[in-house]
Amino acid sequence: MIRTKFDFKKIFLFLFILLITFTLSACGVDPQPNEETELEDITLTIYTLNDFHGTIEENGNMAGIYKIGDFLIKEKQNSPETTLIISAGDMFQGTAVSSMTRGRAVVDAMNIIGFDAMTLGNHEFDWGIDVVLKYQDGKEENGEANFPFLAANIIDKKSNELITKPYTIVKKSGYKIGIIGIIGSDQTKDILASYVENYEFTDEITAIKKYTKVLRNEEKCDIVIVSAHCDTQDYGNKLSSLSDDYKIDAIINGHTHQAYYGELNFGDREAPLPYVQSGCYGQYVGKIVLQLNGKERKVINASANNLKAKSTCKTENIDIKNAISKYSKEMEVSKEVLGVSGETVYQNEGGKWAANVIATYEDAVVGIINSGGIRRNGFPLEIDKDITYGDIFEIMPFENKIKVVSIKGYELEKLANYSGLFISDSLSKRNGTVYINDEPIDANEYYRVATIDYLYEKTNYPFKTGLNPVDTDILFRDALAEAVKKKVSEKGKFYTN
């Protein structure tokens, strides 16, 4: 008689697998689809925001976070397996409540909304990037984002590593969707130099190709989306022409505050490449629609659009309002009334006024600021309307401080010909001659000039090589607020002259 030797380990393993399979079937749990499994055809909808700049309250054509958030929440609740929500950056800096909470108020709202990813923008560096990255450190006590911050091309020069994740992967209806975040490689110039000196922004297309290949080959993603805090229109044709391992399926843009959308079909594409940028301050909500074929797991058609937020987002979300109401102290500061405007003030008049204000510090004779530091969104200040601290915050949301330095007259003459600057009334130009307080400028004389640290640190301006620099440690924004109150005290109302 032949005796059979039993392998009890193999028998036990077989019975265990059989038990697990039976249990999953009994519970109605289907095995996860692998890359060969045929999926259902679906319509994937991607909602996008860019350059939101902390717009919590509704104002003019800006719907605010309560209404935009309610719309996005409902869209995702209605179709959770076919809806994505993505930000292309610059979400936090811009309004008093958001800035004073260092973006935490907006992070709280984004958590409730259910964002899937956010690309880092240049204004995420405005308080130093570590301030924003703390929302990814796992410590609930200092606030935590329930979605990843992405940046595939920001390198820490000291460690030679990325400062955060280059991509994230989201699963919807069985499809694996990779989302890559990039920032414009030239945007270090838009950030306070000392805040970005240890970081390198590398080439966008190189980063896109590198991580698209990773997502396609190593991560086995079916769809790849690029969320770019930059305007990719100049090289959109190149992106559209990428194929095989490098093919991308949708592009979200930001940074330039433009509102546009479209589809590209360059190269050997089976479906167009949709792209969108949705203005700024929540004026629009971007919408990209991808038709997905489940058998081949690819995009077979695509489109893009911008939805006007005011007409699309109708109701406020009570959960978001309750979450932000805990920042009542910051909200009270924002609503503090500084006075009433005696005239309607637009950006150009406001910029000249701001340069005049800064010229009064530390014996300066000229004030010079960059036009981008006086935000168009803060205007107009309307006649006979209250001016609040929040209004000043929207005019000048950045943490720039006043610096004073002496530079030579010939350098001032050059600055008088620069575009993109607001210069105080003390400097004028007539018939090719530059005057200071109506006296012709002496090319070799030193003059005290007040500016902000953002300009001071830029090497293409003469300030950093000037003489006797003084760091006043005064926030430019606070100087403007005090100037409004002083004018109101003197004249009863605010006037720029």
Radius of gyration of the chain from its Cα atoms, rounded to whole angstroms? 27
Q: How much is the pLDDT for 274? A: 98
Task: Tell me how crowded residue 306 is: count the other CB atoms within 10 A of its CB.
Answer: 19
Alpha carbon distance 60, 329 (integer Å):
24
Q: What is the pLDDT of residue 99?
A: 94
Copy the structure tokens of residue 201. Answer: 């922004």
For 473, counting Cβ atoms within 10 Å of its Cβ (0-12 exposed, 13-18 middle, 19+ buried), the class is: exposed
Query: Concatenated DSSP letters for 145-183?
Result: -SS-EE-TTEEETTTTEESSBSEEEEEETTEEEEEEEEE
Contact call for residues 292 and 300 (beta carbons, < 8 A):
yes
Return d(Cα 191, Cα 205) in angstroms, integer.
Answer: 22
Which H, E and C letters describe 233-259, residue by residue? HHHHHHHHHCCHHHCCCEEECCCCCCE
Question: How do the pLDDT tens digits run along the chain, 497 residues long?
Answer: 344 444 545 554 555 544 544 444 444 444 455 666 889 999 999 999 999 999 999 988 899 999 999 999 999 999 999 999 999 999 999 999 999 999 999 999 999 999 999 999 999 999 999 999 999 999 988 899 999 999 999 999 999 999 999 999 999 999 999 999 999 999 999 999 999 999 999 999 999 999 999 999 999 999 999 999 999 999 999 999 999 999 999 999 999 999 999 999 998 899 999 999 999 999 999 999 999 999 999 999 999 999 999 999 999 999 999 999 999 999 999 999 999 999 999 999 999 999 999 999 999 999 999 999 999 989 999 999 999 999 999 999 999 999 999 999 999 999 999 999 999 999 999 998 999 999 999 999 999 999 999 999 999 999 999 999 999 999 999 999 999 999 999 999 999 98
C-beta of residue 104 within 8 angstroms of C-beta of residue 136: no
Q: Hey, what amino acid is at 337? A: V
Residue 429, sorted as left (phi over 0), alpha (psi -120 to 50) or beta, turns out to be beta
Instruction: Check the CA dihedral 28-32-34-37 and report its sign.
Output: positive
Among candidate residues 261, 275, 259, the one with its CA nearest the CA of residue 309: 259
Q: Cβ contacts of residue 201 below 8 Å, gap of 6+?
A: 153, 154, 155, 183, 184, 185, 186, 187, 188
* Strand-pair category, 273-278 with 250-252: parallel
Instruction: Answer positive or negative: Cα dihedral of 134, 119, 298, 42.
Output: positive
Q: CA 218, 231, 350, 466 torsion: positive or negative?
A: positive
pLDDT at res. 35: 60
Q: What is the pLDDT of residue 267?
A: 85
Distance of alpha carbon 73 from alpha carbon 67, whole angstroms: 10
Prediction pTM value: 0.90
Any idea how long the chain is? 497
To the nearest 10°, report the CA torsion of 80, 81, 82, 88: 70
